[in-house]
Amino acid sequence: MKHSHFLAFMAPSLIVMLLFIALPIGSVAYQSLFVEHEQVLVEVENCGPFGCETEARVDNAAMAELQETKPMGRFNGIGTYLNATHLAGNEIKAIWANSSSIGDALSGISNLPFYKALIFTLAYTFIVTPLCIILGFLVAVCVNTLPNLFKGPVIFFSLLPMIVTPIIGSLVLFWMIDARGVIGANLQLLFNDPQLSLKASPTLTWITLFVYGVWHSIPFSFVVFYAGLQTVPQDTLESSMVDGATRWQRIRYVVIPYLMPLAVFIALMQLMDNFRVFEPIVGFSAQANATSLSYQIYNDLRGGDSPLYGSAATTSMLTIFGVIILLTPVLIRTWHDFTRKT
Amino acid sequence: MASRTREQSIPLRTLCIGVVAVWIIMAAFPFLWTAWGSFKVEPDFMSRINWINALTGPRTIEQTGSAFSNSAYHGAWVDQGFWQAALNTAIVTVSVVVLSLTIATLGGYALARSGFKYAYWLLIIALVFRAMPHITLVSGYLLPFFELNIWGYLPTSIIVLVAINQPFTLWMLHAFFLTIPKDLDESAMVDGCTRFQAFRLAVMPVMWPGIVTTGLFSFLLAYNDFTVTTLLLSQDNQTMVPKIASFLGSTQTEGNVMFAVASVVMAIIPLFILILIFQRQIVSGLTAGAVKG
């Protein structure tokens, strides 16, 4: 294929990706250096029956004009990165100085908004991903032993949690775990505690979100493993049986090594998807007890009276940085493969 | 011989059936429960007295005279204008699928057929783009879109979704075109076709299975999107998913939750039908990347 042909075929795709993925990342980087205008205050003299007093008021006309001429806000350099809602250098120093033990300091730091979101995001990513790989494998092995007649319907229902819109799936579960819903009410009966609510305590909220995450992602790993199981070489299985391998040994030494590349693939996909966890927090209204990096950005854009573009952009930059760290092993591996090939 | 490797002892077999049964109940029960409950009134669906009321519906009988009431559906669809949101969703998803398939087919074909180094790097960059959380991109769009006065309209969201879809669609179609033998289009070119004619006359007729599978996933991405449609569409242009979220955001007046429940059920129905028809393609699509990658 000639270079010109390649370019002609790729052009439309390249243009949309450049305009709507690469450029916005640049725009986010630029925006993160700016911060909202300070409010323009005017002194107004208020005279009443008891004398005059001056009062500071926001000058709306001047604010509108400033917004018109400089929509980005004012330049703030890396100030936003360092402030209390992001990396919070000064706050960490203060917490470190004032706390008696390391545990004390860590719990103080984990209450800072950015670190709180980061910790939840990482916990979600690294708890849900392995769990869904293990459970998906278990379901796949079990479904594989069923008679063929049942396999189709089982796969059909298994796909539902993954295919359904994340926010809709989390709402469906949210209504069921409500104290007035079927699961919530039965949990109260089971633990004999009429006050029990999965929404009240941070720990229970986290567990609920993790359970949702696993529920949502099992189908993906199940289907991939199930398809992989169909291609496990029968000869190897047979010969291992001739050698006297037990059922467990066959799975451990033949099936699992054979499916390992699939597990790596699932892990990569799940890490990428779980790191952006966002919809379940909205669906479960869990923001009081659990926020993720994506939720923080959403909150900056939607939460207050006026959107905090600078703050959202800064969290976005830090998130993108996190994604790149997460992908580094993959990128290094591809680089090695690539240099070996050429 | 294959049957011998499948032989299992009775306890192990029971255990396996147990695992599958638990999983199927976990996967299917929430949807059946919600679908059943959507025909009840809120005091039954969210009963303060006994959760069994959601099955039998005593309050529903009291209020409407029958154990099944379609008041939630009527309220959501007609009074709350959910039909408009459904229409918007249809417009958005169809446009996204058509546009992203068109441009990604061309791109995926070029990536599969060129042996250049930069094609390889383009794929790696696409993978990095695929990993970007959507909300980080959306926070980059908002200010420029406000300035350009294109915020809030359906076409803006459509083009943004096409772009966000692109890395994934490119990867999938690239993998698919690799399975179509090179000889096919090369012999067409030997016969005097130009590159584009070879693509149109030799490759296009055999590429439809891959297009259908990729199209399904494009559809799902557009249909299930919350981030882009919530932040980039104005109130009047909302699609189904942000509309459902807005039922919950407004004050918790009685009945509002039932509108959300009914809309959730209506939003799931198309997905249900989709799996029913395309189960095989969805499974093969999920595994395509894995088996080859």
| Statement: residue B1 has pLDDT above 60 | no
Q: Which residue has the higher pLDDT, A293 or A199?
A: A293
CATH domain B75-292 topology: MetI-like fold (1.10.3720)
Check A9 against B106: CB less than 8 A apart.
yes
Cβ contact B31–A10 (<8 Å): no
Assess whether pLDDT exceeds 70 at residue B291. Answer: no
> How many inter-chain contacts (A to B, CB under 8 Å) are there?
297
For residue A342, what pLDDT is reported? 59
Q: Where do the structural domains in chain B lie, given as residue ranges?
A: 8-72, 75-292
8 Å CB contact of B51 and A186:
yes
CB contact under 8 A, A227 and B13: no
pTM (2 decimals)?
A: 0.90
Mean pLDDT of the residues in chain A: 88
Tell me the mean pLDDT in the region A97-101.
Answer: 85
CB B244 within 8 A of CB B264: yes
Percent of chain A whose pLDDT exceeds 70: 99
Highest mean pLDDT among A288-292, A331-335, B40-44, B255-259: A288-292
**Percent of chain B scoring above 70 in pLDDT:** 93
Q: What is the pLDDT of residue B286?
A: 81
Which of A2, A3, A9 best tests the B interface by mutation, with the highest count of B CBs <10 A? A9
Pairwise CA distance, residues B36 & B31, whole Å: 9
Residue B4, pLDDT above cutoff 50 = no
State the average pLDDT over residues B201-207.
Answer: 89
Contact: A167, B244; criterion CB under 8 Å: yes
- B43 pLDDT band, cuts 50/70/90, is confident
Tell me the nearest-neighbour CA distance from A177 into chain B, angstroms: 10
Question: Which among B49, B136, B157, B271 is the top mutation candidate for probing chain A, defined by the most A β-carbons within 10 Å of its own β-carbon?
Answer: B136
What ipTM does this complex have? 0.90
Q: With CB atoms and an 8 Å threshold, state whether B13 touches A145.
A: yes
CA distance A262 to chain B (A): 6
The least confident of A36-40, A119-123, A139-143, B203-207 is A36-40
Over pLDDT 90: what percentage of chain A? 44
Query: B19 vs A139: CB contact, 8 Å cut-off?
Result: yes
Secondary structure (DSSP) of chain B = -HHHHH---HHHHHHHHHHHHHHHHHHHHHHHHHHHHTTS-HHHHT-SS-TTHHHH-HHHHHHHSSS---HHHHIIIIIT-HHHHHHHHHHHHHHHHHHHHHHHHHHHHHHHH---HHHHHHHHHHHHHHHS-HHHHHHHHHHHHHHHT-TB-HHHHHHHHHHHHHHHHHHHHHHHHHTS-HHHHHHHHHTT--HHHHIIIIIGGG-HHHHHHHHHHHHHHHHH--HHHHHHB-GGG--HHHHHHHHHHS---TTHHHHHHHHHHHHHHHHHHHHHHHHHHHHHHHHHHHHH-
Q: Which of B135, B241, B277, B282 to mutate to test the interface with A (most CBs of A within 10 A)?
A: B135
A239-268 average pLDDT score? 89
- Please indicate whether residue B68 or residue A316 has the higher confidence score (pLDDT): A316
Partners of A185 on chain B (C-beta within 8 Å) are 47, 50-51
Any idea which of A122-131, A277-286, B282-291 has the lowest mean pLDDT? B282-291
Candidate from B142, B226, B264 with C-beta closest to A279? B226
Q: Which residues of A touch B26 (CB under 8 A)?
A: 161, 215
Q: Which domains does chain A have, with CATH numbers?
A: 122-291 (1.10.3720.10)
Structure confidence by residue, pLDDT tens digits, B241-283? 999 888 876 545 566 788 889 999 999 999 999 999 999 888 8
